[in-house]
Structure 1
Amino acid sequence: MTFSIVARCSRTGMFGVAVSSSSPAVAARCAYAQAGVGAVASQNVTDPTLGTRGLELMARGASAAEAVAVLKRTGAWSDYRQVLAVDAAGTSAIHSGPKALGIWAEACADNVACGGNMLAHAGVPQAMVEAFLASEGYLGDRLLATMRAALKAGGEAGPVHSAGMKLVREVAWPVADLRCDWSEGNPIEELAALWDRYKPQLDAYVTRAINPSDAPSYGVPGDE
């Protein structure tokens, strides 16, 4: 019921996750990232603890492959789970249990891993990886280009209804955590529209948190 990407920007070191599903509020359960550590997507009969545990393992020095191997070996009901990870070195790894739903597939390369279940066909994740590697610019833009490529390649077997994107960089909190929790239209395009509105303000939000005196304005009525 889901397709996703975890990725690292080799230029900036930023990490990101983007995910879409026929289920509501998919990003609330599936997207995990930590600055300087990595990104994880936990999906398919989702166990959210796999996301947090994956980040904990990588923060303690495990590679993406080592973290995914531990999650596969120690996690409950691993045959049902799908976990994608990318680490601070840009290496990536995926576990897809044999009981993942419907047509499931995975693909990875340096700095990126993509996977999905209940897909229209098994080629969707590879199309996503190729789209990411061919993209340029800000990581958020590249993630959305990848999600659009997934739809163009067929996406899920049925319509998607929710989407989300999480970005982390040098601070302890996500610099972007955007979601479309339910749409009868195209949640990926609704997420892209939200990103277009949020992106110009992203750096200002970080500045305001670190040192409000450096923020020239707050962009709201009455602000002088």
Structure 2
Amino acid sequence: MTFSIVGFDTQEKEWGIAVQSKFLGVGAVVPFAKAGVGAVATQSYANTAYGPQALELMAQGKSAKEAMELITKEDPDKEMRQVGLIDAEGNPATFTGTYCYDWAGGVTGKHFAAQGNILVDENTAKAMAETFESTEGSLAHRLLQALNAGQKAGGDSRGQQSAALLVVKEKGGYGGYNDRYIDLRVDDHPEPITELIRIYGLQQLYFAKSKPENVVAIEGDVKDTVVQYLKRLDYLKADPSDGEELHKALTSYIHTENFEEREQEKGKIDLEVLDFMKNQ
């Protein structure tokens, strides 16, 4: 009922899962991950106990392969399960039970495991694998591109309904208080992967750090544009008489729209925030 990919980024030390299914709220069932430990995708009559169990075993130093053997060993229904694992070092493992509905199977490669069941054919798993390996960029981007490629190659034979993306890293969560770096879900949508990619773009806009090349001084044409849109959005009533008035209006806008992560020192602005203003 599902296809997924788990992966690891060696440079950023991130672990993640992207998943799609003809199933309501797949993000509540399939993905589990813990920074410094690994990631799990449990599906096909999913045994959700596999998530915590595998993470605990990998936290103890077990490899993905060893953890897979242990979590499935005592499960009387293991032949109905499908699981993908990535351990702390990025070693992959995938398991597809004998009784999973066709097409069902998985592919592993360097720092990833891709798997699915009730697929049109094996091309979905192959497309996910090839795309993850050939795509550059962040782990989240690679996972989403792989998931999208899997859908284009055939996907779930019953159609689409929900999708999710979970990426963890040490202190990656909001404010640095937990490891939940990216945690996004589309629970019910006719094109959930497309919608998930759109929401991921928003997540990056709101929570990613500003790129140095996008931070500019509020002067000249940039100042004129900032004033224009702050007035249009009713944060300024007239042209500001001084820089302090403009700064207060811009700060109010940034805090109202939750752009604190992209807030700059007085007299500067992130061009991505300005672009967002233009499209409101």
Return the index of the structure with the highest Cα Rg.
2
Alpha-carbon contact 2:41-2:83 (below 8 Å) kept: yes
**Distance in structure 1 (CA, Å) of the matches to 2:121 and 2:37:** 32
Q: How does 1:5-44 map to 2 (within 5 A)?
A: 5-44=5-44
Alpha-carbon contact 2:6-2:41 (below 8 Å) kept: yes
For 2:128, the equivalent position in structure 1 comes to: 128
Give how far 1:222 is off. Answer: 9.0
Quote the RMSD (CA, aligned, Å). 1.9
1:163 matched to 2:163? The reply is: yes
1:201 matched to 2:201? The reply is: no
- CA 1:153/1:61 → structure 2, altered by over 3 Å: closer, same or farther? same
Give how far 1:175 is off. Answer: 1.2
Give how far 1:152 is off. Answer: 1.4
Structure 1 unaligned blocks of 5 or more: 205-215
Comparing 69-78 and 126-135, the one that deviates more = 69-78
TM-score (norm 1): 0.89
In structure 2, which of residues 185, 193, 212 is the aligned counterpart of residue 179 of structure 1?
Answer: 185
**Distance in structure 1 (CA, Å) of the matches to 2:64 and 2:253:** 39
Secondary structure of the structure 2 residue equivalent to 1:20: strand
- CA 1:136/1:79 → structure 2, altered by over 3 Å: closer, same or farther? same
Secondary structure of the structure 2 residue equivalent to 1:40: strand
1:221 matched to 2:226? The reply is: no
Alpha-carbon contact 1:27-1:179 (below 8 Å) kept: yes
**Distance in structure 1 (CA, Å) of the matches to 2:105 and 2:48:** 20
Secondary structure of the structure 1 residue equivalent to 2:256: coil
**Distance in structure 2 (CA, Å) of the matches to 1:199 and 1:129:** 24
For 1:207, the equivalent position in structure 2 comes to: none
Give how far 1:154 is off. Answer: 0.7
**Distance in structure 2 (CA, Å) of the matches to 1:194 and 1:110:** 28
Q: How does 1:61-72 map to 2 (within 5 A)?
A: 61-72=61-72
**Distance in structure 2 (CA, Å) of the matches to 1:76 and 1:174:** 32
For 1:210, the equivalent position in structure 2 comes to: none
Alpha-carbon contact 2:123-2:150 (below 8 Å) kept: no
TM-score (norm 2): 0.72
**Distance in structure 1 (CA, Å) of the matches to 2:154 and 2:186:** 20
- CA 1:221/1:23 → structure 2, altered by over 3 Å: closer, same or farther? same
**Distance in structure 2 (CA, Å) of the matches to 1:222 and 1:19:** 29
Alpha-carbon contact 1:50-1:75 (below 8 Å) kept: no
Give how far 1:218 is off. Answer: 9.6
Higher relative contact order (CA 8 A, sep 6+): 1
- CA 1:202/1:118 → structure 2, altered by over 3 Å: closer, same or farther? same
Secondary structure of the structure 2 residue equivalent to 1:175: strand
Runs of 4+ in 1 over 4 A off after TM superposition: none
Deviations 1:57-97 (A, max 9, x none): 10110000000010121234111110100112111001111
**Distance in structure 2 (CA, Å) of the matches to 1:116 and 1:158:** 13
**Distance in structure 1 (CA, Å) of the matches to 2:252 and 2:169:** 23
Secondary structure of the structure 2 residue equivalent to 1:220: helix
Report the AA paired with residue 181 of structure 1. Answer: D
Give how far 1:8 is off. Answer: 0.2
Give percent identity, aligned residues only.
Answer: 35
**Distance in structure 1 (CA, Å) of the matches to 2:37 and 2:205:** 25
Secondary structure of the structure 2 residue equivalent to 1:56: helix
Secondary structure of the structure 2 residue equivalent to 1:16: strand
